[in-house]
A and B are shown apart, each in its own frame.
Chain A
Amino acid sequence: MKRSQKLKHYIFHSWLIAGAIAFAASLILFLALGFFSYNSATEIAKLELMNKATKAARRISAELLLEHRGSSEAVRLLMQKDYNIEQIEILSMDQFVNRNRDYIQVQIPIPNLESKYSLVASVKGISYYDHFNFFLLISCFSLIGIIVTSGLWIQIKYLKKHIIKPIESLVAISTGENVTCGSWPSELQEISDKLNQSFREREQVVYSQVAQGVIHDIRTLLQSLQVATDLASEKQSEARFKNLLSVSKTKLPNLLAIINTALDGSREIKIQPTECDLIKTLKNSIETNQAIMVSKNIKIDFEKVPQSLITVHDPIQLERVFTNILKNAVEAVEDQNSIDKKIKISCENISSSNVKVIIEDSGHGLPQKAENVFRLLKSTKIHGSGLGLLVSRKIVEAHLGNIKASHSVDLKGAKFEIEIPREVQL
């Protein structure tokens, strides 16, 4: 809201400035066009008058030479009428012209009688009001107004498209979101890359801090378990002992898994790729979740999944990725009331060098910006730490592949696409 007000103020101020400039420009244009029009009209009137006066002077010369009109006054009146000139005067050489500022005047000698007479022709001068008129004023203001308004509108559109949107995107990049830069200028692309790199580094630092906290807590828990175990081995009844032991047996592997995940998130994952069956790796992860899927009545569909697909990968690490995604899918689906609880697994040879495994579910789906699920502390689950998918991303990236999250069109839930090369060349 605050930002919106600032933008409005900025626009308002720019309009004020543009309006002032437009007003000044309109006035200048009005004056310039008015003067141009006035001067042109005056020059044209002078030329027309000169043309008429030249013809009239020749005829006057002829009439005076013929001497058949009676007097030069009769000739003067005749020429005024014939050439539609407001006033013609035939002056002898000793007479002077009375200049009148309200009139356009030309004086030319009468041909062949140059030593005796000259002709002065006058027409009423051009009026300022005819040229500096209201219509011209309105036209100038309208023209400049249209130009300035169009300019501002284009500027606002340009600002939004090329400045505000990229800034918003850069802000998103700085928080770890994946943003397509499109046709950004190279300067912005560089800033985007730097921000992305900066985020990854900060993510690593933050993760290390998180992992340290988690490990600390787990160690505390393990110490407590150690104490409980010690106590149970001394003076407790057999029943009590068995109960304490079973708790330890159940919880310890889970704790170990959490520790491993946390440690993997905090460091660079090393993979050991070997040539083996990707489908087998996938099936191993399904088997891990098989029991719970059966108990929750979740149906699993296979689509275009071949019997075998030999690739070079780390089967242990990739199994962790598949297991994690399937586990998330099971947890998303089990909460649904729908009878049709479904997970779909498909496999695509997208090229001779790459394969893609797609896992979709009919669960509650992903948040609006699905790509954010791979970011630290961005779990889709109520009690999730967000570490699982982060570690999955790291494992896939260690295979020089990529993992994408989106919304499933078929099942209306989440969709994860894991694309890896057939052969990892490290």
Chain B
Amino acid sequence: MKLLVISLLIFIFSAPAISKADVQQPIKVKISFMEALAPKDTTSSERFQKEYEYAVQTGKDLTREKLKSCGYEFIEEKVLYDASDNLQAFEQAKKSEAAGSWLIVGPRRSNHYLLAVKGAPETPSVSIMASAKEVFQLNSMHLSLAQSNQQMAKVLAREVQKKFKTKAKYFSIVSEDCVSCVDFAASFDVEAKKLNLKSKHQLYFSGEQPNIEDLEKTFLKEKPDFVLIPNYSMVSAYLMGIISKWNPKVFFIGGDGWGDAKYGFVHDSPQLSKVNGMTVKGMPPVNKGLEFFDLGKEILKNPSLASAFPASGSAQALLKVIQDVSEILCKYKPKDKKEFTASFKDNGSKYFKNPWGVSVYKLFEGEIIFDKTVN
């Protein structure tokens, strides 16, 4: 009897303590940040990696207290892989899903992101820049912060038409390996046709470069006014360097695959320091783009934090994603991944959307300079 009384007393006094510990323990939300790095451009890749990691860390730091008060804590998993092996996006995403990630913040490139979605179809994902139409056709568990290619191509076609006015001729040189590039070029052709811009040659190639000899013959014969190269920085810069030798005055236009000046878009080639053109991106430079969302505004309030924040679109996008995730968590209070997935599926599109519109950038003597934002 005596023993029973003691046991009951111990139970009565220890139960509230156990319950209190359960409440205080935050729910760990694992987020996989997945990105491809170009192994051939190590300098650029290393810089990007540092900025990427800085942006993620800043986002975590700024949301930590709020999340804690809501009972959550971010567990970060960084997955960086070789961009030349896009199948890794599929494999790494599969691994992350198996490891219990609640969310995959997916690769920027559209084809990589689409593969990641294939690899982790049951895990919500957000791409910070994927803009191919196939991305926007995915179900509501997979979203992108990018503007659609169609929208960007429309803005670009209008801006080009303003510059040349008459029936300007253009060439398209597009890498088939880049899903978004193909999509952007197709979208541009549709919009260009509406504005009476004449497509004289469309060269789709696979691998690192097209057949330059054939291209030169056609180029010199057709004498286009501008050339559409909606590829990634390395390939685009290489082609610009070659084509500008044939006609130094030719105008280049591109999509959001072009990097910006700080990413070393213009390499050491002296020829590239003379090229002129125009491109469109899903977001403005960081000092303009941070004004568009709460966490960005919070950074701008702190001058030292604002000056240290990476000056890249992907850094802004990462910050925006972290803000949106923390808001979903605090609003819908999911207890586990299953509940988070349901919340994301139903409400993610309200949060993970582009707040910036389309930004127009000028390529002036090798420098990419922000011009304006078009909503």
A61 to B91, CA, bound (A): 11
Contact of A111 among B87, B114, B134, B179 (CB under 8 A): B87
B87/A61 in contact, CB under 8 A: yes
Taking residues whose C-beta sits less than 8 angstroms from the other chain, chain B's interface range is: 10 to 19
A68 to B176, CA, bound (A): 10
Task: Tell me the chain B residues, 106-134 only, with Cβ under 8 Å from chain A.
Answer: 111, 114-115, 118, 134
Task: Tell me the chain A residues, 200-259 only, with Cβ under 8 Å from chain B.
Answer: none
Chain B neighbourhood of A78, CB < 8 A: 176, 206
Is A1's CB within 8 Å of the partner chain B?
no
A68/B87 in contact, CB under 8 A: no
A364 to B206, CA, bound (A): 104
Q: Which residue of A lies closest to B134 (CB)?
A: A68
Chain B nearest Cβ from A116, distance in angstroms: 14
A112 to B89, CA, bound (A): 12
Task: Tell me the chain B residues, 72-95 only, with Cβ under 8 Å from chain A.
Answer: 85-87, 89-91
A112/B87 in contact, CB under 8 A: yes
B207/A65 in contact, CB under 8 A: no
A62/B86 in contact, CB under 8 A: yes
A58 to B86, CA, bound (A): 8
Chain B nearest Cβ from A140, distance in angstroms: 43
B90/A65 in contact, CB under 8 A: yes
Q: A62-B90, A111-B87, A112-B87 are in contact. Are A82 and B206 (CB under 8 A)?
A: yes
Chain B neighbourhood of A68, CB < 8 A: 111, 134, 179
A112/B90 in contact, CB under 8 A: yes
A112 to B116, CA, bound (A): 13
Is A59's CB within 8 Å of the partner chain B?
yes
Is A81's CB within 8 Å of the partner chain B?
yes
Task: Tell me the chain B residues, 325-372 only, with Cβ under 8 Å from chain A.
Answer: none
Is A294's CB within 8 Å of the partner chain B?
no
Chain B neighbourhood of A59, CB < 8 A: 86-87
Task: Tell me the chain B residues, 183-227 only, with Cβ under 8 Å from chain A.
Answer: 206-207
Q: A59-B87, A62-B86, A112-B91 are in contact. Are A82 and B115 (CB under 8 A)?
A: no
A66/B115 in contact, CB under 8 A: yes
Task: Tell me the chain A residues, 300-316 only, with Cβ under 8 Å from chain B.
Answer: none
A82 to B207, CA, bound (A): 6
Q: A66-B114, A66-B115, A68-B134 are in contact. Are A58 and B207 (CB under 8 A)?
A: no
Chain B nearest Cβ from A326, distance in angstroms: 103
Q: A68-B134, A68-B179 are in contact. Are A62 and B206 (CB under 8 A)?
A: no
Task: Tell me the chain A residues, 68-126 only, with Cβ under 8 Å from chain B.
Answer: 68, 78, 81-82, 111-112
B179/A62 in contact, CB under 8 A: no
A380 to B176, CA, bound (A): 110
Task: Tell me the chain B residues, 156-200 only, with Cβ under 8 Å from chain A.
Answer: 176, 179
Q: Which residue of B lies closest to A68 (CB)?
A: B179
A65 to B94, CA, bound (A): 13
6 A-B pairs besides A55-B85, A78-B176 with CB distance below 8 A are A59-B86, A61-B87, A66-B114, A68-B111, A68-B134, A111-B87
Report 11 cross-chain contacts, Cβ distance below 8 Å, ordered by A residue: A58-B87, A61-B90, A62-B87, A62-B90, A62-B115, A65-B87, A68-B134, A78-B206, A81-B207, A111-B87, A112-B91
> When A and B form their complex, which 8 residue pairs have the shortest distance between CB atoms, in order from nearest?
A62-B87, A58-B87, A62-B86, A82-B207, A65-B118, A61-B87, A78-B206, A82-B206
